[in-house]
Amino acid sequence: MADKLPGSRRPGRGPRQAQEIYRVTLELLADGGYDGLTVEGVAARAGVNKTTIYRWWPDKDALLGAAIVQSALLRFDVPDTGSLRGDLSELVRRLVALMTGAASGVVVAALAAVASRPSLAWLAREFVTDRLAGERAVFERAVERGELSDSVDPELIVDLLAGAVWSRVMLRQSPVSDDFADQVVEVVLRGCADRG
């Protein structure tokens, strides 16, 4: 899959300073938006030659895609608390932290760049596919433990949880209570049980 999408690179591939290049790319995106992001600007701030960047990413979109999908800034480990409810609640908490913490400006800028350019639609698909691939383990473990029917669609659950976070944090810009994650997960899992 990695070679089928423009600019796609798997972790571990790229120059030694890839994470620094990704960090700078996302900072410049947050500071100046898509139009303010340039390969030259990234090279200058990251302290690398622009030929190093072009050797790995043929253009700005490829670099931005790699930064969004592979940057440590936008990534969190998939939890393993021993229960589906615990794993999903922790996923929601981590998503809330991502959208309200230091990286929130980057998240908004990245989504704005992708949403406003049809040529970057592949990037949204790759980002979601990459994250769901990691999160799938949560659902596989839940099925093995008998907590979830294998007929339940993991993507639907993730969409419902992420949508709730997005609505509360980004659209309503409301504070998130300490028990928000548990409440959202309870509603979603109750719906899954009703379907099972």
pLDDT digits (tens, 9 = 90+) for 43-80: 999 999 999 999 999 999 999 988 988 888 888 788 99
Q: How confident is the model at residue 10 (pLDDT cuts 50, 70, 90)?
A: very low
CB neighbours (10 Å) of residue 180?
19
pLDDT of 2 higher than 70: no
Per DSSP, the residues of 4-70 read TSTT---TT-S-TTHHHHHHHHHHHHHHHHHHH--HHHHHHHHTS-HHHHHHH-SSHHHHHHHHHHH
Q: How confident is the model at residue 36 (pLDDT cuts 50, 70, 90)?
A: very high
The pLDDT assigned to 98 comes to 86
- When the pLDDT of each residue in the chain is averaged and rounded to a whole number, the result is 86
Q: How confident is the model at residue 193 (pLDDT cuts 50, 70, 90)?
A: confident
CB neighbours (10 Å) of residue 126?
21
The pLDDT assigned to 194 comes to 60
pLDDT of 129 higher than 90: no
Cα–Cα distance, 60 to 174 (Å, whole number): 34
- Show me where the domains of the chain are located: 18-70, 76-195
Determine the residue type at 9: R
| Overall CATH class of domain 18-70 | mainly alpha
Cα–Cα distance, 80 to 75 (Å, whole number): 16
pLDDT of 81 higher than 60: yes
As a CATH number, domain 76-195 is: 1.10.357.10
- The predicted model scores a pTM of 0.76
Kindly report, residue by residue over 150-185, the tens digit of the pLDDT.
Answer: 999 998 999 999 999 989 998 898 999 999 999 999
The pLDDT assigned to 87 comes to 96
- The vertex-92 CA angle with 90 and 97, nearest 5°, equals 95
Do the Cβ atoms of 185 and 89 come closer than 8 Å?
yes
Element holding 92 (H helix, E strand): helix 84-100
The pLDDT assigned to 46 comes to 95
Do the Cβ atoms of 105 and 112 come closer than 8 Å?
no
